[in-house]
Amino acid sequence: MLSDKARVQGEGQDLLARISATMEKADWGGMLELARRLSRVGRTFIGGAGRSGLVARSFAMRLMQTGLEVYVPGETITRGAQKGDLLVAISCTGQTGTTYYLAQRARELGAEVVVLTTEPDSPLAKSADQIILIPVTAENIVRRAAVFEHSTGLCLDAVFNVLSKQLKLDVDDFRRRHANLE
């Protein structure tokens, strides 16, 4: 019989293997196109609900550190979207009501919509100008969502790294934009 520590370690190793397999199959061309879009658009809005919303907030923070104008819908300091802006919507299933609404509203306002999801035929994906597939498979939705969120966060960190090089962000620029009231 396995000890509690061995069971936890086994679960961690299983998640890591699933994340690695997902990263190998991720849409890296789509990620590169996202990096290019981010440097061309007006304002960027990043949205998602639940844990996907936490991934969205993390990516929004990273984009702010590049000097881009970025907002999280629902925050009190979020400006209005308009033509020429971009919404990046994150949802594992592509069926989250709040995220779907954000995409529909962004389209009505003339903004482009990029969706990161596991479900290319979902309602959210169908509203996108660009779909970035994060190909997670798991029999259990809880495990599937966890692998999606971790993989998406890593993919978006890669987008940040590429974007930082495109924008020629240096360490001093990064430090000036990094939070310092903590």
Active-site residue list:
149
| Cβ pair 71, 44 in contact under 8 A | yes
* Tokens found for residue 130: 């660009």
Backbone angles phi, psi at 81, to 5 degrees: -85, 155
Beta-bridge mates of residue 117: 133
- What's the gap between Cα 105 and its chain centre? 19
**SS3 at position 3:** coil
Which is nearest to 151 in space by CA: 124, 117, 103, 115?
117
Helices (H), the chain: 4-25, 28-40, 50-66, 97-108, 123-126, 141-166, 171-177
Token pair 């960190």 is found at 157
| Cβ pair 134, 151 in contact under 8 A | yes
